[in-house]
Each structure stands twice: as structure tokens, then as C-alpha cells.
Amino acid sequence: MNQTRRNVLKAGGGASLYALLAAAGMLRPDTALAADWNQKAFEAKNLKDAFDALGAGSRADSIGIFMTAPEIAENGAVVPIGAVSKIPGTESIAILIAKNPTALAANFDIPAGTEPSVSTRVKMAETSEVHVLVKAQGKFYVTKKEIKVTIGGCGG
Amino acid sequence: MADPMRIRAVIKDGAVNVKILMSHAMETGQRKDGDGKPIPAHYIQHVSATWQGKVVLSAQWGTAVAKNPFLEFSFKGGQKGEKIQVTWTDNKGEKRTDEATIN
């Protein structure tokens, strides 16, 4: 093991490995990982645990978040979801699907200068409420919409 | 190595509208193959888009993002002719970066 890495690991104590490696300059600057992959949130099996793992245990319903999604998804493997936040200071937008085996589908970080609007396509196991969670100025806001699914899309 | 991403970056309503189509199986780990054996999870976990050295979008994904992921977003400041780069990294540590010119 190279000496720098050994010293870094010795010095680290309880600090996260990511922080250590970043401090040691061992992560290339263009890695651009704005946030670590939140394993606990992505492995949470239900909505409540996913919200908690995202730090959103306390959140307010908001009429300032707009979801574009079909009423009925013909194919649960490819469901288009658009989310726009009109809440000032939006920092992130997450999509959670209540009845999926793991509720959290995606989390988008919105840097300054980027519009708080994202579109993507998700898999839905069955008819379910889809929640959009916005973090803005340190607080959490949520809206939801039920999407009916005729053919489930998670496989298995 | 995975197929290239298709990236379109177009100036629209005073911002750069970016549409990306990535090529990735996004296996959930729940499907089984013909012999009944589970197909291991293989999915993009990180995405980032940069312009002039600045991150204009980053995302963390789970297995529920659809196969051959689509992503659309918009950011301000980009000019025609400038480039944006998009990188994804998956749970196996595979990685891909593609570049596009703003139109």
C-alpha cells in the first residue's frame, strides 16, 4: 500500500473514507460527486424509512411542487415522471415510489444556476403513489400523485 | 464498454435544455434468468453533468430508474458552441463520460 494512503488511513480515525480520500487528494477533482450515494435511503424498503434516511422525517405538503406523470402507465418498466419545484432555494428533488420494493428511485441535486426541474423515467412495480420530495433552504416539502400501472415493471 | 450516451443541449427560453439518453441495463437484481438464477443488480448510482468546470446537475439513482435512462434538465449561462460533459458511474464501478456541444 502506498505510504500516503497508509498515513491517511491511520490519521482518519472515525472520519468517513470519502472525506479522507478527498482530503488526501486521491479523488480526482472532476469526479464531481456532489453527494455520497445514500445507501440507507436507497435500500429502505418503505416510504417512511426512505424519508427518514434522507433526513426528511419532518416535511410539509406543498402546492409549489408540480409533477408531470401519466394517470395510467401502460408499461410499469418505463414511467415518465417530471418534477418542477417553484419553492425558492430548491437544493434537491427526489422521486419516491411508495409500493416499489425500495421506495427511493432517484435524488437530483440542483446547483445554483440550474432550474429546479427534472424529467426521467422510472420503474413501478404496481399502482402506487409517487412522491416528489424537495429540499429547499434546509427544509423538506412533498407532493404526491397516484399512478396506475397495468403491467408492473420491476421484474422478479 | 457501454454504448455512448446521446446528449442534446439546446438553448431554449434563455437556458440550456439538456436531454440525455444513456445506455445501461439498470438491472434491479430481482429478475431471474432462464435457469431461475437471479441476475445481479447492475445500475447507475451517480450521474453528473458539468459545464466550464462547474457541476450543473448531479444525481444519485437506485434500481428504479428505467433501463436506458432518460434525463432532462435545464441550466442558465451556457452559450452556443460551449461543451457539456455527462458522466455516470454504476454499482460495479463502471463509468462512462460523453460530451456534447451546446446548440
Output the pLDDT for position A36.
Answer: 85
Do A77 and A110 share a domain, yes or no? yes
| Domain boundaries, position A78 | 36-151
Q: What is the pLDDT of residues A33-77, one digit of tens each?
A: 446 899 999 999 999 999 999 999 999 999 999 999 999 998 999
Cβ contact (<8 Å) for B65 and A35? no
Do A88 and A124 share a domain, yes or no? yes
In a domain, A156, yes or no: no
Do A72 and A129 share a domain, yes or no? yes
**Chain A interface with B: residues with Cβ < 8 Å:** 30, 32-38, 42, 77-80, 82, 97, 100-102, 104-111, 113-115, 117-124, 153-156
Is the confidence at residue A131, as pLDDT, over 90?
A: yes
Do A21 and A40 share a domain, yes or no? no
Cβ contact (<8 Å) for B60 and A38? yes
Cβ–Cβ < 8 Å for A154, B26: no
Output the pLDDT for position A67.
Answer: 98
Do A144 and A99 share a domain, yes or no? yes
Name the closest residue on chain B to residue A79, using Cα atoms: B66
Output the pLDDT for position A38.
Answer: 97
Do A19 and A56 share a domain, yes or no? no
Delimit the domains of chain B by residue range.
6-101
Q: Give the mutation candidate from B8, B58, B74, B82 for the A interface (greatest A CB count, under 10 A).
A: B58
Q: Give the mutation candidate from B50, B73, B96 for the A interface (greatest A CB count, under 10 A).
A: B73
Average pLDDT over residues B45-55: 98
pTM for the predicted model, two decimal places: 0.86
Is the confidence at residue A135, as pLDDT, over 60?
A: yes
In a domain, A126, yes or no: yes
Measured distance CA(A103)–CA(A48) in Å, rounded: 9
CATH architecture observed for domain B6-101: Sandwich (2.60)
Strand partners, B96: B88
Output the pLDDT for position A152.
Answer: 72
Output the pLDDT for position A30.
Answer: 39
Output the pLDDT for position A153.
Answer: 74
Is the confidence at residue A113, as pLDDT, over 90?
A: yes
Do A28 and A50 share a domain, yes or no? no
Do A78 and A14 share a domain, yes or no? no
Count of domains observed in chain A: 2
